[in-house]
């Protein structure tokens, strides 16, 4: 979190000296204009640390110091006094000040004291934010896979995890974009900093700017107090912007400036606040199409997509389904309090044969339902929803062309589990090749007939070396 320090010193020489000391501290320092340096300013400007000259505090000083210490979200108070009387300084600390310092002490002593309080307050605020947003801490090692496509994907993830460059994560709904982004954060040098998540599509447009950048008290109707935005909360950490394509066009401009300058301006403020944040953005749309349709700024797309990754959908890595299902079952059994420890073979086969349009999220929901309905210590075929158990019958009615002559001899030395993905790849490439031929390479029509999102179709075509230009009528 970006720390805010309010400096209320009405003596110009001392004010300049303290500002110079604060220059090397990672914090946003507010210094009111000379005629605004009053005790009442403490109610108007949000601060985490308040450094105040004793002459600014009304009499009796101890009563006002106690009032600050007992206030809601009270800042850490550092009082600078023109007296070196130990009894006076001790009295200020006894009533609630974090430190009371004689204003003429050396710069080094003053710096050491302020730095100690800054780090203590930063640690306290970070723990408060983390507790408020507590979620299980995923690791990149959680994403173990036997699927070649997922293994190759994770190699890329490991290479870019510790970078500070913006990252764009694409993928269908439910593939686990946020969970992967959290794991990337905890595998990076920013792991000790906060991970703040914002769903840009779930926040009303008129509130999104304030949610992202914060606002000052009185900035708009209902703004009864100054509030930090998510960029400030994510200082020294990672900000995850889900559904990035839902950000309105005028806010895309502001976001672009933040990515260029790493400064934010809260709503209602002209004062820029420096931030140190890594941005991870996510989308389930084909973002290049959004750019082409002028719904998303091209310059913002290039800035966000310094590195882009596309999370493979679950149906493209069916070999991972048994291990995923078992892992989910272990967590659910503990959380729900049911001693369900295994999945029968017929149920695992049904799970593996299902197409999973809702991806990992759908698998989690199906497993939770099965645990709740299960009457024994093992999930059976009958505990699964009808959509999944009817899957094999649906495949048979398609009368898929197959012959023993089409099966390569080398497959005969391998178990079916290992050749399943190769067989699916071979079928998908043949299916898409024929469909592109029929549609003459028209992506929209091909995606519609295949029951896919255009972005997913593009990814498939890239994987199989298919180009739309090769299928256009001459």
* 226 to 39, 223, 262, 344: CA distances (angstroms): 17, 7, 21, 56
Q: Are residues 169 and 302 in the same domain?
A: yes
In CATH, what number is assigned to the domain containing residue 419? 1.10.10
Q: How many domains does the chain have?
A: 4
Of the candidates 310, 325, 342, which is a domain's last residue? 310
For residue 231, the model assigns a pLDDT of: 94
Q: Is the dihedral of CA 181, 183, 186, 188 positive or negative?
A: negative
447 in the same domain as 335: no
What gap in Å lies between CA 445 and CA 438, rounded to an integer? 10
Q: What are phi and psi of 378, to 5 degrees?
A: -135, 135
Judge if 152 and 298 occupy the same domain. Answer: yes
Is residue 251 predicted with pLDDT exceeding 90?
yes
Q: What percent of the chain has pLDDT over 70?
A: 93
Question: Tens digits of per-residue pLDDT, 255-294?
Answer: 999 999 999 999 988 889 999 999 999 999 888 888 988 8
- For residue 40, give Cα distances in angstroms to 44, 91, 241: 7, 22, 37
Q: For residue 95, name the pLDDT band (cuts at 50, 70, 90).
A: confident
pTM of the model as a whole? 0.73
Taking CB atoms within 8 Å and a gap of at least 24, the contacts of 272-277 are: 273/2, 273/28, 273/232, 274/2, 274/28, 275/2, 275/231, 275/232, 275/234, 275/235, 276/26, 276/235, 276/236, 277/231, 277/234, 277/235, 277/236, 277/237, 277/238, 277/239
pLDDT band at 415 (very low <50, low <70, confident <90, very high): confident
**pLDDT (average), residues 29-50:** 86
Which tops the pLDDT comparison, 398 or 350?
Answer: 350
127 and 9 inside one domain: yes
Residue at 182 is within a domain: yes
Q: What is the pLDDT of residue 167?
A: 96
Same domain, 121 and 68: yes
Among 65, 98, 132, residue at a domain's last position: 132
Q: What is the CATH number of the domain that holds 179?
A: 3.40.50.300
Answer yes or no: is 116 within a domain. yes
CATH of residue 368: 1.10.8.60
Based on the fold, state whether residues 322 and 233 are members of the same structural domain. no
Which of 362, 396, 430 is a domain's end point?
A: 396
Q: Give 89's pLDDT tier (boundaries 50, 70, 90).
A: confident
Asked if 188 and 283 sit in the same domain, the reply is: yes
Give per-residue pLDDT as tens, 439-463: 888 888 888 888 777 777 888 888 8
pLDDT surpasses 70 at 377: yes
The predicted pLDDT at position 133 comes to 56
Of 154-163, 165-174, 198-207, where does mean pLDDT reach its minimum? 198-207
Mean pLDDT computed over every residue of the chain: 86
Same domain, 30 and 115: yes
The domain in which residue 427 lies consists of 404-471
Share of the chain above pLDDT 90, in %: 39
Here the CATH number for the domain that contains residue 71 is: 3.40.50.2300
299 and 326 share a domain? no
Average pLDDT on 348-363 reads: 91
Note whether 295 and 365 are same-domain residues.
no
Same domain, 275 and 328: no
């Amino acid at each position: 979190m970006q720390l805010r320090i309010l400096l209320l010193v009405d003596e110009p020489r001392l004010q300049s000296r303290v500002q110079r000391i604060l220059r090397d501290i990672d914090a946003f320092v507010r210094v009111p204009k000379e005629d605004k340096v009053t005790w009442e300013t403490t109610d108007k400007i949000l601060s985490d640390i308040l450094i105040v000259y004793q002459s600014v505090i009304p009499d009796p000083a101890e009563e006002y110091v106690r009032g600050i210490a007992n206030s809601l979200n009270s800042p850490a108070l550092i009082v600078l006094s023109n007296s070196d009387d130990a009894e006076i300084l001790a009295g200020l600390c006894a009533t609630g000040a974090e430190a009371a310092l004689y204003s003429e002490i050396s710069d080094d002593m003053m710096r050491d004291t302020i730095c100690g309080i800054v780090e203590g307050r930063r640690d306290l605020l970070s723990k408060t934010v983390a507790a408020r947003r507590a979620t299980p801490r995923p690791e990149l090692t959680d994403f173990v896979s036997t699927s070649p496509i997922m293994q190759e994907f994770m190699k890329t993830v490991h290479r870019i995890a510790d970078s500070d460059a913006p990252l764009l994560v694409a993928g269908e709904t439910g593939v686990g974009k946020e969970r992967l982004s959290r794991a990337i954060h905890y595998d990076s040098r920013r792991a000790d900093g906060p991970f703040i998540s914002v769903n840009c599509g779930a926040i009303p447009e008129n509130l999104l700017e304030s949610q992202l950048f914060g606002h000052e008290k009185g900035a708009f109707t209902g703004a009864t107090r100054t509030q930090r935005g998510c960029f400030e909360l994510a200082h020294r950490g990672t900000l995850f912007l889900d559904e990035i394509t839902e950000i309105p066009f005028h806010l895309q401009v502001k976001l672009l400036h933040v990515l260029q300058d790493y400064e934010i301006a809260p709503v209602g403020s002209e004062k820029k606040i420096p931030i140190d944040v890594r941005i991870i953005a996510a989308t389930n749309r084909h973002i290049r199409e959004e750019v082409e349709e002028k719904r998303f700024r091209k310059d913002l797309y290039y800035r966000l997509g310094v590195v882009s990754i596309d999370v493979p959908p679950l149906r493209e890595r069916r070999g991972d389904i048994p291990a995923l299902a078992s892992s989910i079952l272990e967590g659910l059994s503990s959380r729900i309090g049911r001693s369900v420890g295994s999945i029968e073979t017929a149920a695992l086969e049904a799970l593996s044969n299902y197409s999973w349009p809702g991806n990992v999220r759908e698998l989690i929901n199906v497993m939770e339902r099965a645990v709740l309905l299960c009457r024994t210590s093992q999930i059976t075929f009958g505990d699964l929803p009808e959509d999944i158990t009817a899957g094999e019958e649906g495949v048979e009615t398609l009368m898929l062309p197959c012959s023993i002559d089409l099966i390569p001899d080398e497959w005969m030395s391998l178990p079916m589990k290992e050749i399943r993905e190769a067989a699916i790849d071979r079928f998908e490439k043949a299916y898409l090749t024929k469909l592109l031929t029929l549609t003459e390479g028209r992506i929209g029509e091909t995606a519609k007939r295949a029951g896919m999102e255009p972005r997913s179709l593009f990814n498939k075509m890239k994987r199989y070396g298919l180009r739309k230009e090769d299928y256009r009528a001459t």
